[in-house]
Amino acid sequence: MLGIASYPLTRYLWDRSRGKERLNQMMFYEGEVTFAALGDQVTAIDIDGDTTFLWLGLRCASFFPALNLPTDPFDAAIMVRYGGRGGKGFSQTPIDIRNCAPPRPVPFMLPCPKPMAPGSTLHVTVSLRSGVTFPASIAFQFFGFKAFNWRGDTKA
């Protein structure tokens, strides 16, 4: 066949004939922090233990919880550590919230998928750096795919 790599096609047809299909469902892990004053807030998000999660990107939104109204992004930064307590930072510096919150039309995308081990924890530290009307909240959403999960297979 022209233009098609033979190994992936053969693998696909072989798995398909055995009744297996790759599960390509987008997965979301969400969290929220609320500030009563300037400073840092930390929260933990647990990853499901069934299979590896391939983290692709991050979306954020800032709002006032009392009114439930969205607002322009606050001057804040998000640092993500994964792989347990303390863990490894996925970047050397925190992400500015303006890189992943509206009015920016697209979410923050990682340069390549970051695999998260089954059952691991994302530790998210949000640092509010400027004065806003309190209380103020920042919601965030990690999105990606579950990896290596096959329909019809008894093993994960």
For 64-111, the pLDDT digits (tens) are: 888 878 888 888 999 988 876 567 777 788 888 888 888 777 888 888
Q: Locate the DSSP E strands across the chain.
A: 21-22, 26-35, 39-46, 53-64, 69-70, 76-82, 88-89, 95-96, 108-116, 121-128, 136-146, 150-151
For residue 7, report the phi and psi dihedrals to the nearest 5 degrees. -65, -50
Q: Are 109 and 48 in contact (CB under 8 A)?
A: no
For the whole model, what pTM was predicted?
A: 0.74
CATH architecture of 21-149: Sandwich (2.60)
pLDDT band of 156, cuts 50, 70, 90:
very low
